Chain A
Amino acid sequence: DAGVIQSPRHEVTEMGQEVTLRCKPISGHNSLFWYRQTMMRGLELLIYFNNNVPIDDSGMPEDRFSAKMPNASFSTLKIQPSEPRDSAVYFCASSLRGYGTEAFFGQGTRLTVV
């Protein structure tokens, strides 16, 4: 298996633009997580899905952020409109729920909003 695949690896965008981050979890995994990593706040859980259903989105910072998981093999995190303070590394991770297995992380998307 190729692991968790995120795209793009790097994204530079102008303030006010829409940004869409993409994630393909490991096949067979039924939990998916979106994290944001910054120097100031560390790793923050934004939202997680079980069986494609959002379970907890309390970490989503504002209404500008939205996440979807239309099927078991794809998820998106959208920021509209983007702001400079959204600059961070965004990680997607997946795991097999209910078995105490670890979360497997993608390589992250480094987002820079100028």
Chain B
Amino acid sequence: AQTVTQSQPEMSVQEAETVTLSCTYDTSENNYYLFWYKQPPSRQMILVIRQEAYKQQNATENRFSVNFQKAAKSFSLKISDSQLGDTAMYFCAFMKDDTGNQFYFGTGTSLTVIP
């Protein structure tokens, strides 16, 4: 079974500052996909960023970027220029690259952006 670990239950950051959320995973697969989802108070799950394991280049989406370390099985999310709207629960997720398409989620990190 695959496991996804987020070791930071809660974090806070000052507005306009940078914050990094950690995620590690355990798998014996060689090819897979990793995701970060955001869940604001509205509870809607929103995809933030996606990374294919076969790509060495780290994914970026505007203020959001990842540091993907395949050998270390680490997938951290960096949020630059934090905004109040970034306040949310963030979930790291893993998906095997096979026919299953099953998603495995971490327990989440609650991020608060302080004005």
Contacts and interface: CB of A to CB of B under 8 A. Distances in A.
Interface of A: 31, 33, 35, 42-43, 45, 48, 50, 55-56, 89, 91, 93, 95, 97-98, 100, 102-105, 107-108, 110
Contacts of A108: 43-44
Contacts, number: 53
Contact of A103 (B44, B97, B99, B103): B103
A102 B93 CA distance: 10
A35 B102 CA distance: 12
Contacts of B107: 42
The 5 closest A-B pairs by CB, nearest first: A105-B45, A42-B107, A43-B105, A97-B101, A100-B33
B44 A107 contact: yes
A100 B97 contact: yes
Q: Please tell me the size bucket of the interface on B.
A: 20 to 34
Given A43-B91, A100-B33, A102-B50, A91 B45 contact: yes
Contacts of A50: 99-101
B52 interface: yes
B41 to A, nearest CB: 12
Contact of A105 (B44, B50, B100, B104): B44
Interface in B71-99: 91, 93, 95, 97, 99
Nearest to B49: A102
25 contacts: A31-B101, A33-B103, A42-B105, A42-B106, A43-B105, A45-B102, A48-B101, A48-B102, A50-B100, A55-B100, A55-B102, A56-B102, A89-B43, A93-B45, A95-B101, A95-B103, A100-B33, A100-B52, A102-B35, A102-B47, A102-B50, A103-B93, A104-B47, A105-B37, A107-B43
